[in-house]
Amino acid sequence: MTAALTEGPLTPAQADLVLELAAAAEASDGVAPLSEQTILHVRHGAGLRSGGRDWLVTAPDGGITGYAHLDPPDAPEDEPGHGHGPEDDSDVTGELVVHPAHRRRGSGSALVSALIAGADGRGIRVWAHGDLPAAAGFAKANGFTRVRELWQMLLPPDVPVTEPALPDGITLRTFQPGADEEAWLAVNRRAFAHHPEQGGWTRADLELRKAEPWFDPNGFFLAVRSPSARPDSTSPAPGERLAGFHWTKVHPSGGTSGGPGVSPGEHCPPAPDEVRGPGVSPGEHCPPAPDEVRGPGVSPGEHCPPAPDVVPGPIGEVYVVGVDPSEQGGGLGKALTLAGLAHLRARGLGEIMLYVDGDNAPAVRLYENLGFGRWHTDVMYHR
């Protein structure tokens, strides 16, 4: 008997097996194979976005040896933005993983074929963790073209963090669960209007992340304009307006070649507003590469270079920074970034990481001026 490829919603038992599969791949490859968005989809059944599809490769003994997920298009084909450039709003995003013990047996190729067929003629985006020659060669052989780099940048522990200088009329407070959700969603939509994976978040998306063990409202900073100054307040004021935010995250360990055990870009922080423009984010919940070590069908082990160095212990992340378009250009983005960095350092976190587009020279220059250095590179392939 041979392995079987099937499509359909995951049962609870299958979801548990997919999570075990992802853990096995991470232990083997040194990087998580599935994005946070997809992990939440697996854990919570139907997922956070309607229209997603799942495929499984099942061994004769019933074990799951491969998994693929395809998100729906970013926007319908008749909406503005369709059909422009190598990537457009009608593209779909897929990711997949194959168990390390079952690679190079056709499972990866079968799952890639399923994703391509599921795209139904639309463009498809795939991220490759690490710029590995084997992944690049396999991607090219399957008709994928390199279109983008996402850099992971790291702030070393010996680099000091300066105090933020807030614009006039702005005060900082922390997120208050049960009071700030709708205001935050509204600013998030405006700030990321051109990046639907982030700007399209719903209350359900937010609530699922609030339920994650890493969520800490004390590390979720809101910049507000109030009718009167309330520098010591931690709760919403009557008439205040949310101007921007910096949501930080703490990972319990530093991970390896893919950073702190997370997929790149699912919450890629935008560059501070001074260098990026309204609502532009460097990442779009960027999914990781498909299956065998960062490229569909590429096996790890002797075919891959050694994993890069490890940053041990807990590590902080600039999870997402957003500034309302009406507030951009006044230094608020940089101030919010520094406020979050100071909070993470106060928690004893030496290393702090973030994601940024490699071709965004102003943003890269700004982060370098803050002390960040290039750590790893992830590559997007498009077909």
Residue range 71-101, pLDDT digits in tens? 888 654 433 333 334 455 689 888 888 898 9
Q: How confident is the model at residue 131 (pLDDT cuts 50, 70, 90)?
A: confident
* Alpha carbon separation from 21 to 44, 57, 115 (Å, rounded): 17, 11, 19
Give residue 89's pLDDT: 61
In this structure, are 93 and 116 located in the same domain? yes
The reply to whether 112 falls in a domain is yes
In this structure, are 141 and 168 located in the same domain? no
In this structure, are 123 and 159 located in the same domain? no
In this structure, are 327 and 181 located in the same domain? yes
CA 316-368-359 angle, 5° bins: 100
The reply to whether 296 falls in a domain is no
Question: Could you say which of 148, 164, 183 is where a domain stops?
Answer: 148
Instruction: State how far the Cα of 67 lies from the Cα of 19, in Å rounded to an integer.
Output: 10
Find out whether 98 and 292 touch, Cβ atoms under 8 Å.
yes
pLDDT at 165 exceeding the cut of 90: yes
Q: How confident is the model at residue 194 (pLDDT cuts 50, 70, 90)?
A: confident
In this structure, are 128 and 214 located in the same domain? no
pLDDT at 337 exceeding the cut of 50: yes
At 23, the amino acid letter reads A
The reply to whether 300 falls in a domain is no
In this structure, are 313 and 178 located in the same domain? yes
Considering only residues 230 and 245, tell me which one the structure prediction assigns the higher pLDDT. 245
Instruction: State how far the Cα of 86 lies from the Cα of 107, in Å rounded to an integer.
Output: 28
pLDDT at 282 exceeding the cut of 70: no
The reply to whether 104 falls in a domain is yes
The reply to whether 299 falls in a domain is no
Give residue 71's pLDDT: 86
DSSP labels for 141-187? HTT-EEEEEEEEEEE-TTS--PPP-PPTTEEEEE--TTTSHHHHHHH
In this structure, are 128 and 273 located in the same domain? no
In this structure, are 214 and 341 located in the same domain? yes
Find out whether 340 and 219 touch, Cβ atoms under 8 Å.
yes
Tokens representing residue 268 in the block: 């890629």
**Cβ-based neighbour number of residue 150 at 10 Å:** 23
In this structure, are 270 and 162 located in the same domain? yes
Reported as half-sphere exposure (CB side, CA atoms, 13 A), residue 290 has a value of 35
Backbone φ, ψ for residue 289 (5° rounding): -65, 155
The reply to whether 130 falls in a domain is yes
In this structure, are 110 and 177 located in the same domain? no
Give residue 360's pLDDT: 79
Into how many domains does the chain fold?
A: 2
Listed residue (184, 201, 199, 209) closest to 262, CA to CA = 209
Tokens representing residue 2 in the block: 């041979």
Give residue 193's domain range.
154-286+307-382
Question: Could you say which of 85, 114, 148 is where a domain stops?
Answer: 148
At 6, the amino acid letter reads T
Considering only residues 301 and 59, tell me which one the structure prediction assigns the higher pLDDT. 59
**Cβ-based neighbour number of residue 63 at 10 Å:** 15
Tens of pLDDT, residues 219-230: 999 999 977 654
Instruction: State how far the Cα of 227 lies from the Cα of 241, in Å rounded to an integer.
Output: 9
Question: Could you say which of 113, 148, 183 is where a domain stops?
Answer: 148
In this structure, are 203 and 129 located in the same domain? no
In this structure, are 115 and 194 located in the same domain? no
CATH at 210: 3.40.630.30
Q: How confident is the model at residue 235 (pLDDT cuts 50, 70, 90)?
A: low
The reply to whether 302 falls in a domain is no
Find out whether 33 and 288 touch, Cβ atoms under 8 Å.
yes
Listed residue (197, 53, 31) closest to 128, CA to CA = 31
pLDDT at 5 exceeding the cut of 50: yes
**Cβ-based neighbour number of residue 133 at 10 Å:** 12
The reply to whether 294 falls in a domain is no
pTM: 0.77
Give residue 381's pLDDT: 85
Are β-strands 92-98 and 124-129 bridged in parallel, bridged antiparallel, or unpaired?
parallel
At 134, the amino acid letter reads A
Listed residue (305, 258, 312) closest to 286, CA to CA = 258
Are β-strands 64-70 and 53-58 bridged in parallel, bridged antiparallel, or unpaired?
antiparallel
